[in-house]
Structure 1
Amino acid sequence: MTTLLAASQTAALLPYPALAREIAALLADALVRVPARLVQALPGGASLFVMPAFDARLAIAKLITFTPANAGSGRPAIQGDVLVFDVASGARRLQLDGPTVTARRTAAVSLLAAQRLAPGNAGPLLVVGAGAQGRAHLEAFAQGLGIREVRIASRSAASASALAAHARTLGLQASVADDPERQLADCPLAVTCTPAAGVVLRGRLRDDAFVAAVGAFTPAMVELAPQLCRDVAARGTIVVDTPDAQHEAGDLLQAGLDVARLPDLRAVVLGPARPSPGPVLFKSCGWAGWDLAAARCAVDQLEQS
Structure 2
Amino acid sequence: MATMTSDLNGSPIFIDATKLRSALPYKSLINHLQTSLSTATSVIQSPIRHSHQTSSSSSNLLLMPAWSISSTALPYIGVKLVTTHPDNSALNLPGVHASYVLFNSVTGQTLASMDGTELTVRRTACVSALASHYLSNINSKYLLLIGAGSLSPHLIRAHLVTRPSIDHVMIWNRTVRKSNNIVEEFRKESGMEGIQFDVCEDLERAVGIADVVSCATNSETPLVLGKWLKEGAHLDLVGSFKPSMRECDDEAVKRGRVFVDNDAAMVEAGELVGAFERGVMKKDEIQGDLVQLIKGDKIGRKNEKEITLFVSVGSAVVDLLSAQLAYETVTLKT
Same fold (TM over 0.5): yes
Change (3 A) 1:265 1:284: same
Q: Would the aligned equivalents of 1:114 and 1:121 in 2 still touch at CA under 8 Å?
A: no
Instruction: Give the Å deviation of 1:246.
Output: 1.4
2:48 matched residue in structure 1: 36
Tell me, in whole angstroms, the C-alpha distance in 2 between the residues paired with 1:260 and 1:245: 13
- Write out per-residue CA displacement over residues 100-155 of structure 1, whole angstroms, 9 at most, x where no aligned residue: 11111110000110112212353211001011111110111123322332111111
Instruction: Give the Å deviation of 1:161.
Output: 0.6
1:185 aligns with 2:208: yes
2:8 matched residue in structure 1: none
Question: Relative to structure 2, which stretch is displaced further, 273-282 or 60-69?
Answer: 273-282
Instruction: Give the Å deviation of 1:304.
Output: 4.0
- Write out per-residue CA displacement over residues 139-198 of structure 1, whole angstroms, 9 at most, x where no aligned residue: 111233223321111111111011111222331310001022201232211101112232
Instruction: Give the Å deviation of 1:214.
Output: 0.7
Amino acid paired to 1:48: L
Pairing partner for 1:74 from 81, 92, 95: 92
RMSD: 1.7
1:281 aligns with 2:309: yes
TM-score where L is the length of structure 1: 0.93
Amino acid paired to 1:149: H
Amino acid paired to 1:178: E
1:111 matched residue in structure 2: 129
Instruction: Give the Å deviation of 1:280.
Output: 0.6
State which structure, 1 or 2, has the greater radius of gyration over its C-alpha atoms.
2
2:14 matched residue in structure 1: 4
Give 3-state SS (helix, strand or coil) of 1:39's partner: strand
Q: Would the aligned equivalents of 2:138 and 2:163 in 1 still touch at CA under 8 Å?
A: no
Pairing partner for 2:222 from 199, 202, 225: 199
Change (3 A) 1:188 1:290: same
Question: Relative to structure 2, which stretch is displaced further, 55-64 or 22-31?
Answer: 22-31
Tell me, in whole angstroms, the C-alpha distance in 1 between the residues paired with 2:265 and 2:162: 25
1:92 aligns with 2:76: no
1:223 aligns with 2:247: yes
Instruction: Give the Å deviation of 1:292.
Output: 0.8
Unmatched runs of 5 consecutive residues or more in structure 1: none
Tell me, in whole angstroms, the C-alpha distance in 1 between the residues paired with 2:154 and 2:62: 21
Tell me, in whole angstroms, the C-alpha distance in 2 between the residues paired with 1:22 and 1:166: 28
Question: Relative to structure 2, which stretch is displaced further, 252-261 or 280-289?
Answer: 252-261
2:319 matched residue in structure 1: 291
Amino acid paired to 1:284: S
- Write out per-residue CA displacement over residues 3-38 of structure 1, whole angstroms, 9 at most, x where no aligned residue: 112222222221111112222212322211112211
Tell me, in whole angstroms, the C-alpha distance in 1 between the residues paired with 2:15 and 2:331: 15
1:53 matched residue in structure 2: 66
Amino acid paired to 1:227: E
Q: Would the aligned equivalents of 1:16 and 1:144 in 2 still touch at CA under 8 Å?
A: no
Give 3-state SS (helix, strand or coil) of 1:142's partner: helix
Q: Would the aligned equivalents of 1:243 and 1:260 in 2 still touch at CA under 8 Å?
A: no
TM-score where L is the length of structure 2: 0.85
Change (3 A) 1:291 1:72: same
Amino acid paired to 1:205: L
Amino acid paired to 2:300: R
Question: Relative to structure 2, which stretch is displaced further, 266-275 or 160-169?
Answer: 266-275
Give 3-state SS (helix, strand or coil) of 2:119's partner: helix
Tell me, in whole angstroms, the C-alpha distance in 1 between the residues paired with 2:237 and 2:204: 15
Give 3-state SS (helix, strand or coil) of 2:313's partner: coil
Change (3 A) 1:184 1:80: closer
Structure 1 runs, 4 residues or longer, greater than 6 Å off: none
Pairing partner for 1:210 from 210, 218, 234: 234
Provide the identity percentage: 26
Give 3-state SS (helix, strand or coil) of 1:215's partner: coil
